[in-house]
Structure 1
Amino acid sequence: MATGAYARRLHIPGEETYWQRGISACAVCDGAAPIFRGKCLSVVGGGDSAAEESLFLTRYATKVYLLVRRDKLRASAVMAKRLLNHPKIEVIWNTVVLRSLGDGHLLNRLEIKNVKTQVVSELHVSGLFYAIGHEPATALVRGQVECDDNGYIITKNGGPETNIKGFFAAGDVQDKKWRQAVTSAGSGCMAGL
């Protein structure tokens, strides 16, 4: 099975309208697009991925807001230091996105809420990038094949074998660490052998 994983989404009002029209789950894939160049952008998350996405976007954005729902980052100390010292990045702590707003064609602002003060405000940005994790596409086999608490298929000894004889798992469906095409290809090759 090599059904992959997909980026977690917030499922906020306006998300479907502005998906790929200002909202994305991949800064590296979409951050250089003309709709984002020279604009204020935002990233949601607090881990290493959110830090990496924010730092990457500084190449194209005039400013990057990192929206963190807690009062601290989960990112490694090295990534946090780079992020917090970057002149184009502003971290907005204790904040969640309530909805995405725009002109019906492109995103141009977010409604955000400080979870400590309950104050709701608008943040004018042209991009919202999700960096809040991934979901493995394993719904088809959950309850039949052994999966971890996050739904990733458990394989034996770093290979493709599962708890069911003759059933193999490859790629992002079982790899929650690397999530790269080259490692997926390698695990697919192992499954085929």
Structure 2
Amino acid sequence: MSALALLMILSAYLLGSVSSAVLICKLFKMDDPRLRGSGNPGATNVYRMAGALPAAITLLFDVLKGMLPVWLSYYLGLSPIILGWVAIAACVGHIYPLYFDFKGGKAVATALGAMFPVAWEMALLLIATWILVFSISRVSSLAALITVSLAPFYAYLIKPQYSIPAIMLTALIIWRHRTNIIRLIQGNEVGFRKPKS
């Protein structure tokens, strides 16, 4: 692995370690999202706590954390496998953020952002899948799990060379949702709730 590849992987982890949810909640003078609601510092929990605007900003920055390092790596001509490791590094940073006691989120938005630079068609399909499943189930984790499970299939259809990176990201996101999977099986997963007025 080249020095440039290692640099991009490290940079992706450091960028991913910036917890958008925690910073946005501080900006809006809200509680730490790791201590409220589901305890997950992501856009869904921020929505439950603070409403649409803080959640939208959180989502945007979480997507950019995955998009920017992968886009730069793609621009620099790194191979699809290295792009996969860069994407995973950004997601690992989100899950285990260096600057926030290694207590992070599920990395779904960051993984989605990582896919945009190399296969925007696939990213749009994934967004459509999440919206469809969520509109039916109203359970964010279920929508995320079904969506990421379809990512390798979408990649194979659209850009086969990115199938392995898609599988790598899918495995990471499913592993991160292991407690959600248990709750889904038991029938007691937290559903979507609008913020209190």
Higher share in helix: 2
Higher share in strand: 1
TM-score by length of 1: 0.23
Structure with bigger gyration radius: 1
- With a CA cutoff of 8 Å and minimum separation of 6, indicate the structure with the bigger relative contact order: 1
